[in-house]
Amino acid sequence: MEPISILTSVSGASRAALALSTTLFSFVQATRNIDQNVRSLYDEVTGLSRTIDAISSSLRTADIETPKQTQRNHDLWRSVDASLGDCRVVLDSMHKTLQSVKKTGSNVAAQMLRAFKLNWKEDEIKTLRSQIQSQNAALQLALQAINV
């Protein structure tokens, strides 16, 4: 797996995580009585973003490897690249779901409508949140295996 293609995947997943974090942050700020689940989701996306940044940092500071080391890590980096692609799909789906809930306005009626829409999408958000947790765990595990 070439570092350039992995850096491209890192960049795409990082942009998706940043977009979702921004949406979640503005959603939390716009709703006074925010559900703790949304706040937890924001924290998880922020954690995933940190993991993606760690992968990027690891790639940038990696020593030149011998051909034997490169072959050994090839499968691990391929797994990281695939996980980053999956991660971006999940982050984009979550972003799209939350964009459909988020509307401008901070009056009581707008907040009630947001809360209703959020409850309506609760199962979808829980599923995507679970996928974000899984992607984060997979990326952390792969990064630890590469650094061993």
Helix/strand/coil (H/E/C) assignment for every residue in the chain? CCHHHHHHHHHHHHHHHHHHHHHHHHHHHHCCCCCHHHHHHHHHHHHHHHHHHHHHHHHHHCCCCCHHHHHHHHHHHHHHHHHHHHHHHHHHHHHHHHHHHCCCCCCHHHHHHHHHHHHHCHHHHHHHHHHHHHHHHHHHHHHHHHHC
**Cβ neighbours, 10 Å, residue 66:** 9
* 126: containing domain: 3-147
**Number of separate domains in the chain:** 1
| pLDDT reported for residue 108 | 62
pLDDT value at 65 more than 60: no
| First CA to last CA distance, the chain | 18
Is residue 132 within 8 Å of 44, Cβ to Cβ? yes
The whole-model pTM stands at 0.68
The model's pLDDT over 78-133, given as tens digits with 9 standing for 90+, comes to: 888 888 888 888 888 888 887 777 665 666 666 666 666 666 677 787 888 888 88
